[in-house]
A and B are shown apart, each in its own frame.
Chain A
């Protein structure tokens, strides 16, 4: 059974850093394109970053230079390192399989990141 589980969210002060994780089961992260998508409270969906299976990474302009996507193949895990956090980064962060001309077919339940003093 395919499953995606995010962890690591929490309350963080503006300017702080946080790393969220996404553990996959039922498929191999390194053989798939993997993305992060976020949803601010009461708002719509926004693509944040993608890690192509070949190793290329890309970011939305809103997070470029502040967020870093990475993966640990031995742990079948995707990460999102978030630095210089702002109030507008407050959202549920979802990990999803998909990218490069493909939709997002499997999503985790999300992890809430709240940036506030």
Chain B
């Protein structure tokens, strides 16, 4: 089956710093989503981005489907950005397969 790898596994930042999270996948996909799992365990939709670039406030994402990777950019990080960031892909359009996540800790 498809492999979804995220890097780095852990990231520690000071408030105000910028960061880039990466998601590599081993096969063509019809769907790619980024989620933030907050410290209370909720999975929050960040982006639905099978290709191209999107921005939402301090967050932006780029997916290069032909090269099988996606990047999530967080600028001017805040403590509320802490949590785990997941990339999930759907190789055949139906079921989402999750990566192992990047755990982000932002300190004041």
The answer on A and B forming one complex is no
A interface residues (Cβ-Cβ under 8 A, vs B): none
B interface residues (Cβ-Cβ under 8 A, vs A): none
